Homo-oligomer: A and B are copies of this chain.
Amino acid sequence: MSLNTFGHLFRVTTWGESHGSALGATVDGCPPGIAVDEAMLQHWLDRRKPGQSRFTTQRQEPDTVEILSGVFEGQTTGTPVQLMIRNTDQRSKDYGDIAQKFRPGHADITYWQKYGIRDYRGGGRSSARETAARVAAGGVARAALASLAPGLTITGYMVQIGPHAIDRARFDVAQIERNPFWAPDAQAAAEWEGYLDGLRKTGNSVGAVVEIVASGVPAGLGAPIYGKLDTDLAAAMMSINAVKAVEIGEGMAAATLTGVENADEMTMGPDGPVYASNHAGGILGGISTGQEVVVRFAVKPTSSILTPRRTVTVAGEETEIVTKGRHDPCVGIRAVPVGEAMMACVLLDHLLLHRGQVGGNRGRIG
């Protein structure tokens, strides 16, 4: 019920604002005896860290994570793991111009309307800095998955920036870490570089599509109706800042398929059914099939741009706004590690739920 919390048995509550003294995550429900340390979490945080290229925010922060509780002698204890990241770069002076103006497409107006709070210092709770806490929590989830579901891997990458999509024929997982966009297609990465440089020079921004794939997911995770694996994945991804759509498997394209085309035909392999295709994205009736779980989400462009846009002030006056300060030409880039973290959290949660509620798969095939 806590509205800053996600998960059923593995529960993550994030806290903190972009310009407060710290932010973090309270991770409750991690099984005991899982090897976790700060270096392990820092690894994932470093991948998300801002300021690593000219295509992400120039905010410079080490984003160092501290484990305050729940780990003793290098292992989780079964009690809450508190993760804290101090905010060090809190230059709020850059935001002076926008203190009284609402940014079109930004949450500052709805937060104001709801809470009567105007945290003009850079987004407050709605800032993408909150996602650092998710990435740290995701690191705990990955550690638990490594122990409970060995062989399970999670890979996130960018499939589209603006109108420019990757070519699936050139898909090469080895490329993902070799460019600043997490592109699995070297040619697309080169194309995006030029495209984003152009946008950056004019202070404009653009949206993106991120894909997260988990392989080695056991069949049987999920539940009917509202605790479906895809329901929880949709919520998890939609909860990331600026996300406007979530797809499982074929996603929106499922609308254009016929039943004949959409059927993932099966033959029998040595270890169970073998699927000829994966239109379903690894989930049927809310429950994992054992195939790759495939999720995509669209990230809108940031509203912090240099082109003047018409808006209103808190006092109700019409005006124009230009957002100076740090710009992210494509906030979608930094969403890749965040999507991976959410996938890890959801899969671990459903693994624990399945273990608790069913205790192991009950139906054999063959």
Contact = CB atoms under 8 A, between A and B. Distances in A.
Given A314-B363, A316-B365, A355-B359, 19 more contacts: A4-B225, A5-B11, A15-B68, A16-B68, A17-B72, A20-B69, A24-B82, A72-B117, A105-B284, A126-B286, A206-B258, A226-B239, A230-B244, A232-B235, A239-B286, A260-B307, A262-B303, A268-B312, A356-B356
Interface stretch (A47-55, A149-157, A186-194, A275-283): A275-283
* Copies of this chain, tallied across the complex: 4
A357 B17 contact: no
Interface stretch (A56-64, A166-174, A177-185, A249-257): A249-257
Given A119-B72, A284-B106, A231 B238 contact: yes
Place the interface of chain A in its size category. Answer: 35 or more
A118 B72 CA distance: 9
The listed residue with most B CB atoms (<10 A of its CB), out of A1, A84, A220, A241, is: A1
Given A11-B2, A126-B285, A353 B356 contact: yes
Contacts of A257: 162, 206-207, 300-301
Contacts of A290: 113
Interface in A298-334: 298-305, 307, 309-312, 314-318, 332
Contacts of A268: 312, 316-318
B262 A300 contact: yes
A69 B359 contact: no
A299 B255 contact: yes
Contact of A114 (B1, B82, B110, B361): B361
**Interchain residue pairs A-B with the least CB separation, the first 4:** A316-B366, A356-B356, A107-B285, A3-B227
